[in-house]
Every structure is written in C-alpha cells, then in structure tokens.
Structure 1
C-alpha cells in the first residue's frame, strides 16, 4: 500500500511540473510575452541557460545544428536567465535559430518547477508531443545523448 502512495505522489508531482511549463509565459527578445502552450503538439527541448555560462556556450551551437536538422519535427526553446540586452546580443552573435525567451527571477522559478532545485545551468527539459516531460538534464547535454532522445521522439 505504501508503495502505491509513493507512486501516486510521484505521478502527481510529475503532472504539476508538466503543467507549470505549458501554462507559463516569458518575454521574447522583443519584450513580447510568449506562452509555452503555443509549442505543444511537437516534441520540445527547453534549455535554460545564461550568456556567462561556459557549458551553455558549448552546447548552444549543437542545439542550433539540431534545430536545423530536426526542423518541423522538434522545437527548441531557449530560456535565458539573464538580461534582455545581453541575451539579444548573444543570440545575434551565435545565430540562434529557435525562440529565445528571457527572465531572471521568473525564469529561475520556472526552472525549479521543472525539476532543477539546485539552480545550476545549463538545464534542459525534454517533452514529447503531448507535453509530457520525459527527461531532465542538469549540466552540459552532449549532442550524442540529445540525438538519442530526438530519434525516439521523432519515430
């Protein structure tokens, strides 16, 4: 009986975490509020990062390449925990080809709700087309590991 309560507790926490991201809004680089709900229906890779984060700088070019490779099948979304002007300059310099949102305290709170209690960066949450979170990764996500997720999500 105790085992069932633990499983139910885990499942209810999972459902709350899933709904947190797709009911949230953050501004884009033009300061226009964007709802995450618009990206449901396709697998989504939501990456929390900052311009000053070295591992973030390493993985973003790989995300750009994978967004190009999986265009129309998967949606990458960047959530910068940083100031708008810094993020806009970074996005332009790197040629980020996917939506980039930003926020400081709001983005941090959203990241915590998605499972990153430590607040470390980078942090990536991976969702299937139904909006169900299938994985979270704290730290630099290697291209090969992400490609394995993408292959499963796009079968």
Structure 2
C-alpha cells in the first residue's frame, strides 16, 4: 500500500507540473483577468518575454507572422514579465496579433513550473491540442525550428 501511495504522489506531482499553465490566470493589456485554459484545444505556443529583452524583440515579429500563417490552427500567447504600460506600447508598435498577458512574480513562478529553472528570457513552451507540453526552449527560438513544431502539430 505504501508503495502505491508513493507512486500516486509522484504521478500527481507530474500531472500538476503538466497542467500548471492551464490553471494560470493573468491580466491582459486591459487588466482583465484571462484564464489560459480558454485556449486549450488547439496547439499553443506560450512565450515568456520582456520589452527590454533583445532576443525577445528578435523573435516576436516571427511569432506575429506565424500566428497569421497558422490562424485558427495554433494559438500563440505572450506572457510579458514587464510593466503593463511598456508592454501595451510595445504591442501596439510591433502589431502583436495574439493575446498578451501581463505577469510579474506569478509569471516567474509559472515559468519555473513549466521547466525554466534559470528564469531566463525568452522562454517558450509548446503544447499539443491535448494540452501536453511537447517542448520547451530557453533563449531565442528560431523561426525554422518553430515551424517544424507547427507543421507536426497541425498535420492531420
């Protein structure tokens, strides 16, 4: 019996880690709380970033283009580790076409739960339509590499 309790507790920890992103709720650019779970059901690309992060600034235009290319098939979500006013100005300047959520300490903890123990930016977690995390990338995610994930995730 003791052995089964240990196995169950280990499995419950794994399930919690895998679903942490879907239990998160963060404010959007209008300060309205958004549940990340609302986008479950299609592949998701969740990108943690900041306006002051050079590699983030490089990859965001590619994310914008890929969100447009895969509209209706994949959902990009940006979680900014930054001030709301800076993020709003940045989003407008770059023409970000996917949901942007504002995170501070909560987002840093969420990022750790999703596999980023170093707390570095940018950090991207990729989920399939079932909500299973299939990959994480710390640092700038090159468009070609992300496109390979997207092609696999959207293949019927």
- Fold-level similarity (TM above 0.5): yes
Measured on the aligned residues, the alpha-carbon RMSD in Å equals: 1.6
Q: TM-score, normalised by structure 1?
A: 0.92
1:23-67 deviation digits (Å, cap 9, x = unpaired): 110000000000011010000000000000000000000000000
Q: Which runs of 5+ in 1 are unaligned?
A: none
Q: How many angstroms apart in 2 are the aligned matches of 1:60 and 1:42?
A: 20
Alpha-carbon deviation of 1:12? Answer: 5.3
Alpha-carbon deviation of 1:15? Answer: 2.2
How many residues end up aligned between the 2 structures?
149
1:72 to 2:77 alignment: no
Provide the residue aligned with 1:96 in structure 2: 96
Alpha-carbon deviation of 1:127? Answer: 0.1
Q: Which runs of 5+ in 2 are unaligned?
A: 1-5
Provide the residue aligned with 2:62 in structure 1: 62
Q: TM-score, normalised by structure 2?
A: 0.91
Provide the residue aligned with 1:19 in structure 2: 19
1:145 to 2:107 alignment: no
Provide the residue aligned with 2:51 in structure 1: 51
1:30 to 2:30 alignment: yes
1:104-133 deviation digits (Å, cap 9, x = unpaired): 111111101100010000000000000000
1:63-84 deviation digits (Å, cap 9, x = unpaired): 0000000000000000000010
